[in-house]
Amino acid sequence: MAAGETMDLDIQDNTLPAVTAKVGDKIVWTNQDDVPHSVVLDDNSVTSDNFNKGETFEHTFDAAGTFEYFCEFHPNMKGSIVVE
């Protein structure tokens, strides 16, 4: 697998982004809100610790697919990563 790009995503206004990435891309989420958030894939294959304002979480996607995710603290916050 070739090294991919790094994609920076902001968690802001209690919203999780939806993006399209390529296999091997590293996604870096940065919490821009004043409350803690987390990143949890719907299948629980990836679960971050909570991270506060200014902190980050990163994950490299090594397989194609659509990965739905949510915030453990705010289950109504949902996003998706489409990996091609």
Query: For 19-48, what is each residue's pLDDT tens digit?
Result: 999 999 999 999 999 999 999 999 999 999
pLDDT of residue 1: 43
For 15-29, give one letter per residue: b (16+ CB within 10 A) or e: ebbeeebeeebebeb
Domain boundaries, position 66: 6-83
Spatial separation of the C-alpha atoms in residues 65 and 63, rounded to whole Å: 7
* Residue 12 reports pLDDT greater than 70: yes
Average pLDDT over residues 54-61: 97
The pTM of this model reads: 0.92
Domain assignment of residue 44, yes or no: yes
* Residue 9 reports pLDDT greater than 50: yes
Domain assignment of residue 1, yes or no: no
Domain assignment of residue 33, yes or no: yes
What's 26's domain CATH number? Answer: 2.60.40.420
Domain assignment of residue 64, yes or no: yes
The domain total for the chain is 1
